[in-house]
Chains A and B, each alone.
Chain A
Amino acid sequence: MSEVTETAFGGILTAARLGEEWAVAALWRDVHPRLLRYLRVAAGAEAAEDLASEIWLDVAGGLRRFDGDRTSFLRFVFTICRRRVIDAGRRAGRRRTELMPPDALAAAGPAAVDDADAGLALDAALARLAALPRDQAEVILLRVVVGLDADTVGDVLGKRPGTVRVLQHRGLERLAKAVGEERRVTNDVPRTILETDEPLSA
């Protein structure tokens, strides 16, 4: 993700408040991929794009009032994002939306994590996150994908920093366990001939 540096952020924000497209583009490139990844886990892949558009319009509406550094901006955006996700969940009449259809994770398979196709690997990684309990998945998304510290994540989620750290620890532990188990299963599967490095014999 093309990150906006802290030093450059002030100037970019000032220009973005005036509606300068180059500055808005810089902010968008910095935040939008993180936003989409968060939304794909929290609200589902189908709703992610639409929700992201709504969130950006909300951000645009509040940009002139916003004042702060890059971390504050990310907190601002993801606070809006989380509210939007909650609203969408209420509208859908369910507490949690699945990231992907159940068969998508199976289709991605263990090997998909290491897929050369970055998109597929990302899909698989997000699918693994979506398999976690919601609060753990949110914490890991905000800590790892968005890059917020525990205090800021606590602000966004309405939890104490200590709780955030505990959730992060449990989530990563669960994630590591899941990945490790799949790896063992994969290693037990005999290789097919096309998966070996040995040359084909005539």
Chain B
Amino acid sequence: MSHFPRNSWGGARLPESTEPAGADPLATLLDTLRRPGLADELSGEERSVARIAVAVRAAGTVDHQGRGLMASRRFRVSLGAAFAGAVLVAMSGLAYAGALPGPAQGAASDVLSKVGVALPTSHNAAADTAGATASTGDEPGSTGDTGDTTGDEPGSTGDTGDTGGSGDTGSGDNGKGKLISELAHNTPAPGKGKVIAPIASNGKSHVGNPPGQLKKSGQSGGSHKPDHPSHPAHPDHPSSGGGNGNGGGSGNGS
């Protein structure tokens, strides 16, 4: 819409200088920008509106499916995270107990040692096992069981009462079982495992050695664990000595 009249003869517009006094050209410009939609701007309304309406209706369906998919994804992610967390906790527990397979235990020990958590290495775990087997004198109840299961000769497991001899017979280590039996019988309870384990394992076990020392020497074995402090020896238990003999002998024999 023009502010200016057209003259009657030529249709030529009047120049701007005839614009009413006080009219702000900037305001005129802004009014032009605010003008209602022109015909060419609104052309194609029916086609556009129909297409948009179809898209809105279609989006309703797609959106619903999308939300379902999103929920499903969220559920899957949550489930995966929970599973991963459970696996992590379980593996950490196993690593702390030294029950992982060798390489995995070593890797777990390396990783967690960096954050200040001391875990048994794979070698430590093996030594612990050996030490535990050898020092079964600390656990009288378990010696007979070990002997029963490992003894190749069932009659040598202490049925006769000659436990030291049966250990020797079972192991065939030339009196080693007897020696261990005697050690187990005579050594005071604290540190008994440290004395017995190296002998029983032929020097492979390094129970009680600090971990750093083991790494430097490149030897296997060594344990951070105390020698079963929760299971003190029972020196006044007469059968424990015999049991030790069985355990030591059978452990070596196996």
Q: Which A residues lie at the B interface, using CB under 8 A? A: 1-2, 16-21, 24-25, 28-29, 32-33, 36-37, 53, 56-57, 59-65, 110-111, 113-116, 118-119, 121-122, 124-126, 128-129, 141, 144-145, 147, 172, 175-176, 179-180, 183, 186-187, 191, 194-195, 197, 199-200
Contact = CB atoms under 8 A, between A and B. Distances in A.
Contacts of A32: 37, 41-42, 45, 48
A32 to B, nearest CB: 7
B38 interface: yes
B29 A113 contact: yes
A83 B15 CA distance: 41
B21 interface: no
A56 B16 contact: no
Contact of A122 (B10, B14, B33): B33
| Contact size range, B | 35 or more
Contact of B12 (A128, A147, A195): A195
Contacts of A56: 48, 51-52, 55
Contacts of B2: 114-116
Contacts of B37: 1-2, 29, 32-33
Contacts of B60: 17, 19, 64
Contacts of B42: 29, 32-33
A37 B45 CA distance: 16
Contacts of B1: 116, 118
A144 to B, nearest CB: 5
Contacts of B10: 194
A63 B48 contact: no
Contacts of A124: 32
